[in-house]
Amino acid sequence: MVYNIMCEAVYAVGDIHGSLNTLLYDIKRKDLSNCVIICCGDIGFGFEKERNYKLLMDDFEKECLNRSCYVLMFRGNHDDPSYFDGKRIASEHFIAIPDYSVVNICGTDGNVTKRILCIGGAISVDRSERIKSWYDKVTAYAWYSGRSLEDAKRDFGKHWYWWDEHVVYDETKLNALKENGLMIDVVCTHTCPSFCKPVTKDGIEDWLKKDPNLEDDINREREDMDRIHSKLKSDGHPFKKWVYGHFHKHNNEIIDGVEYIMLDMFRYENNKFDMIEI
């Protein structure tokens, strides 16, 4: 998917975790206009009923239409991937976009001034707890409703974990970028290559003990991110900035001439998003 948007500024936002109403308020409070806001995963789609997100989409559309403001979101690990097809949640100014979408930022003359590649997905370190919590709820639902466990799984309707949450390395789509002359200036992802911080697993030791496959799966995921990075480099993409979320901290570092920016999550205690201009 390629999105062509004429605007003056582009902002990236870290993990929202369901605080879309607060983001809408923040747009009003900061009086943002003529801009694109790219939400780098963990929007929170899938934890509530779809009609709630449709109502939010309508609210964003009304506000953003008047401001010429666009909100584009790609998936994190705390999202139902099925929402991110560019169609399910999609108005003119509020879109849940697919992996490997390209956002062309255009000037008033219509020429592209910046190309941004968006790739979502990541592994949840708390997946064992989330799977157990969901299973316990479904089992209770089956018992109270008198249904079989399989029927309860199908009809329960709420989810806390999605098995296809991980990053997907898609060489066909990466090849298509070069073949179509879509040379990337900025990369936005949810997780990051292995050489970017964090480079250790400090802080998740308890999760590693609970989930015996977690460490290997995380290592493979970071390797896939390395493959994406290497492919973009070998294909000559001139990106000088790589933005990501997922790790709930803020960090800036420059590696081989590229600025890697880790965005913090939305902080309820001070009602603040980690939003930067890119």
Q: Which two tokens stand for residue 115?
A: 């190309």
**Pairing mode of beta strands 9-13, 275-277:** antiparallel
Q: For residues 99 and 173, what is the distance between their CA atoms, to the nearest angstrom?
A: 10
Better-scored residue on pLDDT, 172 or 157: 172
Tell if the pTM clears 0.85, that is, is over it.
yes
Contact 188, 12 (CB under 8 A): yes
pLDDT, position 250: 97
pLDDT, position 109: 87
Contact 173, 120 (CB under 8 A): no
- Residue 267 sits at the vertex; the CA angle it makes with 9 and 99, to the nearest 5 degrees, is 55
- Give pLDDT tens digits for 180-220: 999 999 999 999 999 999 999 999 999 999 999 999 999 99
Strand positions, DSSP E, the chain: 2-6, 9-13, 35-40, 69-74, 94-96, 101-106, 112-119, 186-189, 241-244, 251-255, 258-262, 275-277
Which residues have C-beta within 8 Å of that of residue 98, sequence separation ≥ 6? Answer: 1, 74, 84, 85, 86
- Domains of the chain in sequence order: 2-124+161-277 (3.60.21.10)
Nearest CA among 124, 116, 115 for reference residue 42: 124
Q: Which two tokens stand for residue 250?
A: 């803020």
Q: Which two tokens stand for residue 270?
A: 């001070």
Q: How confident is the model at residue 94 (pLDDT cuts 50, 70, 90)?
A: very high
Helix, strand, coil % over all residues of the chain, rounded to 5: 35, 25, 45
Contact 72, 93 (CB under 8 A): no
Q: For residues 219 and 209, what is the distance between their CA atoms, to the nearest angstrom?
A: 15
- Give pLDDT tens digits for 122-156: 999 999 999 998 889 889 988 888 888 888 887 77
pLDDT, position 145: 87
Across 58-72, average pLDDT? 96
Which residues have C-beta within 8 Å of that of residue 229, sequence separation ≥ 6? Answer: 193, 242
Helix/strand number for the chain, H first, E second: 7, 12
Query: Above 90 in pLDDT, residue 108?
Result: no
Q: What percent of the chain has pLDDT over 70?
A: 100
Phi/psi for 215 (5° steps) reads: -60, -45
Nearest CA among 211, 156, 152, 126 for reference residue 46: 156
Question: Mean pLDDT over all residues of the chain?
Answer: 95
Q: For residues 78 and 59, what is the distance between their CA atoms, to the nearest angstrom?
A: 22
